[in-house]
Structures are given as C-alpha cells and as structure tokens.
Amino acid sequence: MNHTTSEIARILDQMDRAISGDAWHGPNVMSLLEGVSAADAQKHVVRGAHSIWELVNHIAAWNGIMRHEMEGETVDVEGEHDWPPVGDTSEPAWKKSLENLRESRAKIRKTVERLRDDQLGEIPVPRTTNTRYVMLHGLVQHDLYHAGQIAILKKALA
C-alpha cells in the first residue's frame, strides 16, 4: 500500500488481515479455526468463558450488525442478536457456522468498499456516538480480541 491509498482501502486491509490475512500479531481468526472440530468447538474448556463456537457465532453476528449499521439501519444488539446460541452441534452445523462467518465478513466488506472516505466521519446510527471510522476500526479490534480468546481456548483443549 502506498501513501496515496484511500482510508477505506486501509481499513479494508486491516479487516482482511484480522480475519484471514497476514496479521503481524499472529494468527488471524480463520487460521485459528482451521482443524477445529464441532466436538471441540462446542466445549466450554474454561469455566465462565464462551466456547469457540459461541465466539464464531458472535463474530459473525457483529459483522452483520456492523454491515447494517454502516448502511444507516438500526439493529437490535441485545441477547441472541449479540450472542447467537449454538443449537445443533453436529459437524455440518459447525461447517455452516464457519461459512456464516465467511459470508458475513464478505458482506460487510462489500458494504465498506462502497463507502467514501468523506463518510467515515459520519455517525450512522443513533445507538452510538461513534463514527463509521471508529466503528470499523472497532470491528477489527473486536475480531482480534476474540481471536486471542480462541487461541487460548485451543491451547486449553490440547
């Protein structure tokens, strides 16, 4: 990336690095999830902590919430919208949760691609006083926060 790159392009680069790219801090979210089985994803290996599966559903949910909010829609961010429950714990259901995460990220990425740099200073929804700029950087921070949790849970499983 060069110094003339748009801020939107820089944000997209950070979003990509956090979820599936070359993150300098360590493994990105998707690489941490490689090889995790449904049986392991559903385990609560740390008392009081979420399971890997719950974290995956939560990250996907916030990608969806943020996509809608970037488009100016008001979204319910409480309860199951924030932490969608894990119902079916089969291997196909786990694969579906992983696919949902990939799809939700692809959708918000398309939304961000359509933004202009001059829209980053706008506050898109009344739920928060945060600008699009702060919210999008917050999404990257959110991904990496939960990536760290997933990494610890994987170590606890071993």
Give the pLDDT confidence score for residue 26 in this predicted structure: 87
What number of other Cβ atoms are within 10 A of residue 75's Cβ?
Answer: 16
Domains identified in the chain and CATH numbers: 7-157 (1.20.120.450)
Q: Cα–Cα distance between 48 and 67 in angstroms, integer?
A: 29
Note if the pTM is more than 0.75.
yes
Cα(117)–Cα(5) distance, integer angstroms = 11
pLDDT, position 126: 86
What tens-digit pLDDT sequence spans the chain (158 residues)?
555 689 999 999 999 999 999 988 889 999 999 999 999 999 999 999 999 999 999 999 999 999 999 999 989 898 899 999 999 999 999 999 999 999 999 999 999 999 999 999 999 888 889 999 999 999 999 999 999 999 999 999 98
Cα–Cα nearest to 89, from 38, 24, 147: 38
If 0-12 CB within 10 Å is exposed, 13-18 middle and 19+ buried, where does residue 89 land? middle
pLDDT in tens, 24-65: 888 999 999 999 999 999 999 999 999 999 999 999 999 999
